[in-house]
Structure 1
Amino acid sequence: MGGWPRLDYARWRGTGGSLHMWTQIVGKFRLAQSPWVNHSWHATLYVNARGLTTGLVPGSHVSHEVQFDFLDHQLTVSNTLGVSETMVLETMPVAAFHARFLEMLESTGAATEFHGAPNEIPDPVPFAQQTWPGDYDPEAARDFWHAMVNVDRVFTHFRSGFLGKVSPVHFFWGSFDAAVTRFSGRRAPLHPGGLPALPDEISREAYSHEVSSAGFWPGGDGFEEAAFYAYAYPTPDGFEEAPIRPREAFWSPEGGEFLLPYDAVRRADDPDAALMAFLQSTYDAAADLADWDRAALDCPVGQPRVVREL
């Protein structure tokens, strides 16, 4: 694999639209079977050595795992009895993917009941009614996953430099992005809600405590290129004027967050260092302006086989 791949949004757009719906379908299966964990962490997907996975989804007698394989371009449903079903990932309507996935779940003994419409998009159409032609470009899907492998590596390195509560690196299928979040430990003001096709109680539970969050998404919603983002909730006064690195980063008034184009990271002499600078400088601004207890929360980034000093 090697290096940070070029992400061509024009080539990716159709594939990304299909994968957004497909990952929602798979993610909703995990959501329906998993006990609720704070901030909806029980519903997400994770980057693995072949694509994206649910991890082990608990069942009453048999547990399951669902994996998107972007090397061989297939979806696999496996259970803990050794039974598996596979579907080829190719151009198809969302309704066809949904129907085949339900068949795979039934064949492997998994529950097939979950919410049947997308979240976090305006005017959502139920999956079974999305019968228009889809799109799937294997090369675009593979490049997206290669980028996610790099993102996961750097985000994991960054999250190790914090002693407080910090999320794993999650892939959120609703917003179709990867994210890592640090928490001050203090309660946050009640979130206003109002996210499209998402019950307010979910967004309010997700933002129940103060956060500094960063993530990556492959483009859309008026920003037609892949980008990294960083925000704080609640947003402290002066956050938008903070000095952020690298120089290509900028404040987006529309989103209330800092953005850094993916291509600026890819083209940097040291892409990992450029992304770490963005993650660290946005966190520094959020934590300092909101008066987090940094002496108690911060620590050097972790090193392999080096135990934390007490």
Structure 2
Amino acid sequence: MSAVRAFEAAARHLSFTRAAEELSMTQAAVSYQIRLLEDRIGAPLFVRLPREMRLTGAGRQLAPKVTEAIDLLGAAFSEIADKTEHHLHISVLPTVVSSWLGQRLASFQTAHPNISIRVHMSTELVDFKRDAVDLAVRSGAGDWPGNDVFPLFPLDYVPVCTPSFLEKHQLKEPADVLRVRRFGNASWWRRWMIETGVEPPASNGTELIFDVQAMDVATILADHGIAIAVSTFLMDELKSGRLIRPFEHVVRDGRAYWLVYPQSTRRQKKIQAFRDWVVAEADASNAMLATVMEVSRSLHPGGSASALTKPE
């Protein structure tokens, strides 16, 4: 292909020098590639004169067909590249979609109407070489070699319930959660209990186990128990006062939710556009979270339950 490209450019310009400039090659390299092509077909393609260069009969026969073929290849690749550049396939954890990303995607599409988005909800690991995925949002330590990773928000979690549930069950001390039905990740509950000085029970206290935190939140909004969930995903409910924090302690997990994509695709405009947008959205959420968490506390410094003042 290098020899064919060199011949096409030289035939079009009738100059090795101008062909070399177009292809970012040396004149000697262009001449060498054309000699390889002439050896391959067994006939000269150019008549080399002191002050000019002409195509031979074989060269005149070959040049237009080669140009047509290269144009056809260029059009085919451009068509595929154009389609690829305007389609963005994202693999996202179900909780991130249902509790955070889904309600924000409309603003991205408004800002980038030429990019169509397909969201695939999955908890499985992504193989970018195998799967038809451009970007992924996953939780962890962010140690995925060969990929660009950007932290979105911390994986910090906290127990929440409705004000009426708190009133009914008189949740005043961390150990009081042992008396009620609990929803959410069992290991998160265990760590929260240990950090608050409570002996974890043998079971989580519920027979219903959801893989999506939004389902846990929906369940406790109906006053069926208390749930533990990531703080970022609770902001709307905490801000509105539909949910409150019965206890002060938040588990600082140390991990985070990350935007991940292959380093090889970092220059794609659609990748850059989504990265810049989602990181800005996450920064805004993080800035709001501290205020929401402070307002949502239902404990005064003495440690007993108090009424929650709802935000304006």
Per the TM superposition, whether the score is higher than 0.5 is no
TM-score (norm 1): 0.22
Task: Return the index of the structure with the highest Cα Rg.
Answer: 2
TM-score (norm 2): 0.22
Indicate the structure with greater helix content. 2
